[in-house]
A = this chain, B = another copy of it.
């Protein structure tokens, strides 16, 4: 089978969908080739129990995610605030489970030092232009060490250091030892809200949710663009000249166009065969930018019982399996939903366990924090991304030592008619949905300008 379009788009994640929409608006024809049987990419709302939307993938937007706020409004998708009233529950070392005030009282010096390091991080990150982190004055120095090695030198105690790691892994979904210091600083700079992003509040990146689930966004875009989307079309080969592309899929579909936007995480973009082959620097980059390791586990209860106890559903702990959780109820719901995060090493270790065993360990942990009512959820489910063939890891991609300085300039630089989208290529809020929108629009503009 053969199809033609002006702009072929590989991947129907948020970035690809937004790019296609922009192409349509400009009066040109897009064609999205999606490997999976669904659109949405790393956005995936499921309703496995009592019609409660559970976000297996991307869940929140933040106060400064203006593109996403505008897009939701335009698509008619409502929003509601993340529930945050009450105390967070802590469990560190042999201190036992403590409420916020007690935890801060007991560990005042350690936590003050932690906040001091967060402030230092802010000062360093301010040096970085997120569109070219490799040109930061201290780029060479910061890219030759891991963030973890740098943190080891900051004089934090074990609790402060673990607090930093827990907050950082909540963003990067890999240990601080796997990214360069430059990468960690870039991640803060690209969000424009300072190291507050790494503090407990998550810097306003997780304040707003979508009515009906985040999937409402890709779902409505998909309805709008349905004639331009081919599902079950995994791209195997991109042949190209200066002004033409031919994209071949498993199953036989061949799409011809003038430009192509690859809206995949870079590591997945690196699996496609290109003819002529891509330059060395681009290929070596995609060998070095792995998707991170994250799992989300949901426990559903007949009511959000923790709220009556003055708890906000958040736990922060140096134990596990989950080192963080939060209240993931929908607005005005009677049902109670706790979301437990397994990120980085936690996702890798417990991701190998049988689900039943993992469930038990997570429920035991929730019970420790939120009391005996937590022991008997009505429903449990967890979702893992590294085993999903067309995603292979969440939330995002990270670069280790020398990644940015030796290869970073190849991340979004077009190659002939090939433009790169996906949130990893964004200059604002990369790794978030906001970045996916920015990158999709930028790549569409590049393709349109080239025609």
User: Which A residues form the contact surface with B (CB < 8 A)?
Assistant: 144-146, 148-149, 175, 177-178, 234, 236-237, 250, 267, 270-271, 273, 277, 279-281, 283-284, 287-288, 290-291, 293, 345, 348, 351-352, 384, 386-387, 389, 392-393, 400-402, 406-407
Decide: A352 near B145, CB < 8 A? Known: A177-B402, A402-B178.
no
Let me know if A392 and B291 touch, CB within 8 A.
Answer: no
User: Within the complex, what minimum Cβ distance (angstroms) separates A42 from chain B?
Assistant: 15
Decide: A273 near B234, CB < 8 A? Known: A291-B284, A402-B345.
yes
Let me know if A386 and B267 touch, CB within 8 A.
Answer: no
Let me know if A144 and B281 touch, CB within 8 A.
Answer: no
Instruction: List chain B residues, Cβ under 8 A from A277.
Output: 387, 389
Instruction: List chain B residues, Cβ under 8 A from A384.
Output: 280
With the chains together, A178 CA to B406 CA distance in Å?
Answer: 11
Let me know if B293 and A290 touch, CB within 8 A.
Answer: no
Instruction: List chain B residues, Cβ under 8 A from A290.
Output: 284, 287-288
Instruction: List chain B residues, Cβ under 8 A from A402.
Output: 175, 177-178, 345
Chain B residue at minimal CB-CB distance from A291: B287
With the chains together, A70 CA to B93 CA distance in Å?
Answer: 58
Which of B146, B175, B250, B284 has a CB less than 8 Å from the CB of A393? B284
With the chains together, A389 CA to B175 CA distance in Å?
Answer: 32
Let me know if B271 and A270 touch, CB within 8 A.
Answer: yes
Chain B residue at minimal CB-CB distance from A288: B290
Instruction: List chain B residues, Cβ under 8 A from A175.
Output: 144, 401-402
A sample of 19 inter-chain contacts (CB < 8 A) reads A144-B148, A144-B175, A145-B146, A145-B177, A146-B149, A177-B402, A178-B400, A236-B273, A250-B273, A267-B287, A277-B389, A280-B351, A280-B387, A281-B348, A281-B352, A283-B387, A284-B290, A284-B393, A287-B392
Instruction: List chain B residues, Cβ under 8 A from A237.
Output: 236, 250
With the chains together, A384 CA to B277 CA distance in Å?
Answer: 14
With the chains together, A348 CA to B282 CA distance in Å?
Answer: 12
Instruction: List chain B residues, Cβ under 8 A from A236.
Output: 236-237, 250, 273
With the chains together, A392 CA to B100 CA distance in Å?
Answer: 51
Instruction: List chain B residues, Cβ under 8 A from A348.
Output: 281, 284, 406-407
With the chains together, A92 CA to B55 CA distance in Å?
Answer: 58
Chain B residue at minimal CB-CB distance from A266: B287
Interface contacts beyond A148-B401, A277-B387: sample of 8 additional A-B pairs, CB < 8 Å, sorted by A: A146-B149, A178-B400, A280-B351, A280-B384, A281-B348, A283-B392, A284-B386, A345-B402
User: Within the complex, what minimum Cβ distance (angstroms) separates A48 from chain B?
Assistant: 21
Instruction: List chain B residues, Cβ under 8 A from A345.
Output: 402, 406
Instruction: List chain B residues, Cβ under 8 A from A287.
Output: 267, 290-291, 392-393
With the chains together, A237 CA to B249 CA distance in Å?
Answer: 11
With the chains together, A250 CA to B287 CA distance in Å?
Answer: 22
Decide: A178 near B401, CB < 8 A? Known: A236-B273, A279-B387.
yes
With the chains together, A270 CA to B290 CA distance in Å?
Answer: 12
Which of B177, B281, B288, B293 has a CB less than 8 Å from the CB of A401? B177
| A290, A291, A348, A392 — most chain B CB neighbours (10 Å) | A290
Instruction: List chain B residues, Cβ under 8 A from A146.
Output: 145-146, 149, 401
Instruction: List chain B residues, Cβ under 8 A from A178.
Output: 400-402
